Structure 1
Amino acid sequence: MSKVDLFSGGTLAGRDVEHRIVMAPMTRARSTQPGDVPNETNALYYAQRATAALIVTEATQISPQGKGYSFTPGIHNDDQVAGWRRVTGAVHKEGGRIFLQLWHVGRMSHPDFHNGELPVAPSAIPFEGQIWKVDPATGVGAMVDCPTPRALTTQEVRQVVQDFRQAARRAIDAGFAGVEIHGANGYLIDQFLRTTSNQRTDEYGGTRENRLRFLKEVVDAVSQEIGAERTGIRLAPFLTARGMDCPDILPTILDAASYLQSRGVAYVHLVEADWDDAPQFTEAFRRELRARFARPIIVAGLYDVERANWVISHGYADFVAFGRKYVANPDLPYRLANGLSLANFDGSTLFGGDARGYSDYPAWTEHEEETPPAMPA
């Protein structure tokens, strides 16, 4: 074990940082409509959290086809780029650094987002999954079932690769320091990796090498466009929900890690399940992954200070990302470093709405001890 902990300095994506606390991507569904355009409230929200070692934004669709949730932002037109430029400017003014998470949801979508057409996927396989969608008649959002998708053609797959490339370029034009490719949580890249969702017979399906092809092509395209040092990726090895319980996924992720090491990407961001009965990361897998990938690893999933220090001191990760705790505590690094109480996260305000439960969480004050409730760090 090393003596490095959550509050040690480090280097992430070419920048020296004072601590190892990252703001995890969290879908908040508050872009301006119509158009999925980031706005001034989004800028305030991220600027409030600029003391993170790195902010990773909410997932952002690379194209209209990539959309799967109401009110999520895009990065595929000039208005969206201009909106994100306001966000990055606000974060930079506060001394922060921010990456844009690039998203194509694949089959995790609904025809209402695609002019009545089916969502796309590696294969036309039915599955159990829900997305958050606002009813245009009532303005009320709810979780709704996803239909069986249609399979992308080979040429369409290649076009999606180019959509990732173009989105990465637009992100840099919008002032982001880099991008995080969303390859986790049952979205399109993850769908290509798994035998349960990918039953293609072309060069993108079948063997492990073929199932990895789409991920590799996306990483290559983005790295070539903006630089590998500006390219991170998020993966979810132990995900079993959403029809993703693939018996070959761990060896597939390990092979991906070897490739990502060879490409010299900025980091790998691992999603650890954050519900009570979810599969747990094994130490054996952590060791195998570290043997394949020596560059920075970020982990996220129900971490507190003690568990964060354990995973860092063992060398299994270099940074720890916090989601819900960062939502409710915009000055999270200060609170954790000083052992201060944490404000509660209001789950009812997660998706959609206005400033309430979004940009109205206050920073720590000397009187905060008088305003319970709080949760342990």
Structure 2
Amino acid sequence: MNLFTPVTLGLLSLENRILMAPLTRMRAGDDGVPGPLAAEYYAQRASAGLIISEATQISPLGKGYPATPGIYSDSQVAAWRTVTDAVHARGGKIVLQLWHVGRISHSSLHPDEGLPVAPSAIQPAGKVYTASWSLAEYETPRALTLEEIGQLKADYVHAAHQAKAAGFDGVELHAANGYLLDQFLQDRTNQRTDAYGGSIANRCKLVLEILEAIIPVWGSGRVGIRLSPYGTFNDIADSDPKALFAHLINALNRFNLSYLHLIEPRATTAGGSDQLVADAPRTGQMFRSLFTGKVVLAGGFDQASAEKAIADGEADAIAFGRLFIANPDLPKRFELKAPLNPYQRPTFYGGNEKGYTDYPAL
């Protein structure tokens, strides 16, 4: 087995094991409609075994950065349909990553909805981009009520239906990187005393309930989930991450998901730095044996380390981020051992075609 061996993730039959990781690019309109270049950008990368879309908010309150796309309105669905059509026309497959940022937001990004929400009213450390692209201190979020948690689950179900209408091949539940679902999982951010807080089982409850709610929309073979054990991005942490994620991953087995997507914690900054943490835990090694389905790993891989992870049985596929930004034909370059275009970090977020659709193919 190598990166070019076909693989089946649930009901998704992939021609190779080189996946495009979800990559926030902040090029949508203020209304959350994907920008006019999005279809070209994704179609250029359709040779990936599977594209996982950029994180896409399920509701206005789920937005945490300027110019990120949504999936809750009809105009957003129509724009995403041009993307999926373009990818399918090139023979590719694409799933939508469902996202709610929780406390990693600012009220200027959703003025009608007010303060950001979270499991508990705990202010994150650091600064946030406001609607005007200026930096501000994070606000202290409002803790979600039980009634609002019910509405949140309904928002995920609506978004799952919308993703189907937009022509995606499946969905990935974003429960990583310190965003809302990760905030419920980890005890730095979840200090609730009701059924969604306290014990590990209670803190895992929301993620499992949302999976139970969206699987009937898609079927379990077209639903994946992304987790980031030991990650520190967005001021997230847990007092016992090994026990927490072992419990959650064991609980996921009953769903027969398409895949489990794990971010290696050596890449703790989620795209904010080129430095990898040398002595970080290896989630592929720690948790692979607990999951009965297919595992995707991401986080600072190159071709050699990706091939090794697959050969060693740590992963069934590898997701690449920065390399796919700069190399739209990454699988061909890997196959031919061709030189890689260097990526230009200043163009990652916001802007136009520069650093987005203008990287050359071979």
- Pick from 51, 74, 77 the counterpart of residue 78 of structure 1: 74
Cα distance, 1:256 vs. partner?
1.3
CA distance in 2, matches of 1:279, 1:237: 16
How many pairs align? Answer: 354
> What TM-score does the superposition give when structure 1 sets the normalisation length?
0.90
Instruction: Report the counterpart of residue 360 of structure 2 in structure 1.
Output: 362
**Uncovered stretches (5+) of structure 1, i.e. residues with no partner:** 136-140, 365-377
CA distance in 2, matches of 1:296, 1:143: 39
Deviates more, 1:8-17 or 1:163-172: 8-17
RMSD, aligned α-carbons: 1.6
CA distance in 1, matches of 2:86, 2:193: 47
How far does the alpha carbon of each residue in 1:288-319 deviate from its partner, in whole angstroms, 9 at most, with x for none? Answer: 42222121111111101111111111111100
Instruction: Check the 8 A contact 1:178/1:230 in 2, yes or no.
Output: yes
Q: Does 1:290 align with 2:282?
A: no
- Pick from 107, 111, 116 the counterpart of residue 115 of structure 1: 111
Deviates more, 1:237-246 or 1:160-169: 237-246
Instruction: Check the 8 A contact 2:23/2:53 in 1, yes or no.
Output: yes
Cα distance, 1:280 vs. partner?
5.0
Instruction: Report the counterpart of residue 370 of structure 1 in structure 2.
Output: none
CA distance in 1, matches of 2:139, 2:241: 24
- Pick from 233, 242, 251 the counterpart of residue 243 of structure 2: 251
How far does the alpha carbon of each residue in 1:97-136 deviate from its partner, in whole angstroms, 9 at most, with x for none? Answer: 000000000000001012172100000012214333452x
Instruction: Check the 8 A contact 2:44/2:328 in 1, yes or no.
Output: yes
- The structure with the largest alpha-carbon Rg is 1
> What TM-score does the superposition give when structure 2 sets the normalisation length?
0.94
Q: Does 1:308 align with 2:300?
A: no
In 2 relative to 1, CA 56–170 (structure 1 residues): closer, same or farther, beyond 3 Å? same
How far does the alpha carbon of each residue in 1:221-252 deviate from its partner, in whole angstroms, 9 at most, with x for none? Answer: 11122211111110000112433121222211
- Give 1:162-241 correspondences, 5 Å limit: 162-241=154-233
Cα distance, 1:85 vs. partner?
0.6
Instruction: Check the 8 A contact 2:284/2:297 in 1, yes or no.
Output: no
Instruction: Report the counterpart of residue 65 of structure 2 in structure 1.
Output: 69
In 2 relative to 1, CA 185–50 (structure 1 residues): closer, same or farther, beyond 3 Å? same
Percent of pairs with identical residues: 45
Cα distance, 1:161 vs. partner?
1.1
Q: Does 1:336 align with 2:334?
A: yes
Deviates more, 1:151-160 or 1:238-247: 238-247
Q: Does 1:349 align with 2:347?
A: yes
In 2 relative to 1, CA 361–75 (structure 1 residues): closer, same or farther, beyond 3 Å? same
Instruction: Report the counterpart of residue 104 of structure 1 in structure 2.
Output: 100
CA distance in 2, matches of 1:54, 1:131: 31
CA distance in 1, matches of 2:185, 2:279: 20
Instruction: Check the 8 A contact 1:328/1:345 in 2, yes or no.
Output: yes
- Pick from 18, 28, 32 the counterpart of residue 31 of structure 1: 28
Instruction: Report the counterpart of residue 371 of structure 1 in structure 2.
Output: none
- The one-letter code sitting in structure 1 at the alignment partner of 2:281 is T
CA distance in 1, matches of 2:242, 2:263: 13
